[in-house]
Amino acid sequence: MIYTVHQAKTQLSKLLAQAEAGEEVIIARGKAPSVRLIPIAKASNADTALSGPRVPGAWKGRFELPDSFFDPLPQEELALWEGGID
């Protein structure tokens, strides 16, 4: 089904439901089709492993910060961070 931009603005929830149900939803600028709404695929198990609940300490032992990481920044770089140099 083709909808105008105005129709899409006023019926967005309905159009999202239609697209999620597998219906073709096209939004047109004037009479020219412009975009097609499509649902995002469900996440696979591999994707959910990366986006699951956060676990404190999960990265422990995977990398080390060098001691130099904690050294003070050079004055020139510090000024850039603080907005002192254009």
pLDDT at position 36: 95
- For 44, the 3-state DSSP assignment is coil
Question: What's the pLDDT at 48?
Answer: 52
Torsion of Cα atoms, 72 then 73 then 76 then 82, to 10°: -100
User: In this structure, is residue 23 part of a structural domain?
Assistant: yes
pTM recorded for the entire structure: 0.48
**Quick one: 28 exposed, middle or buried, by C-beta within 10 A (0-12, 13-18, 19+)?**
middle
Query: What is the DSSP code (8-state) at residue 84?
Result: -
Find the range with the poorest average confidence among 26-30, 32-36, 60-64. Answer: 60-64
For residue 25, the enclosing domain spans 2-37
Query: 3-state class of 34 per DSSP?
Result: strand
Whether the CB-CB separation of 14 and 27 falls below 8 Å is answered with no
Domains in the chain, number: 1
In a domain, 30, yes or no: yes
59 domain residue, yes or no: no
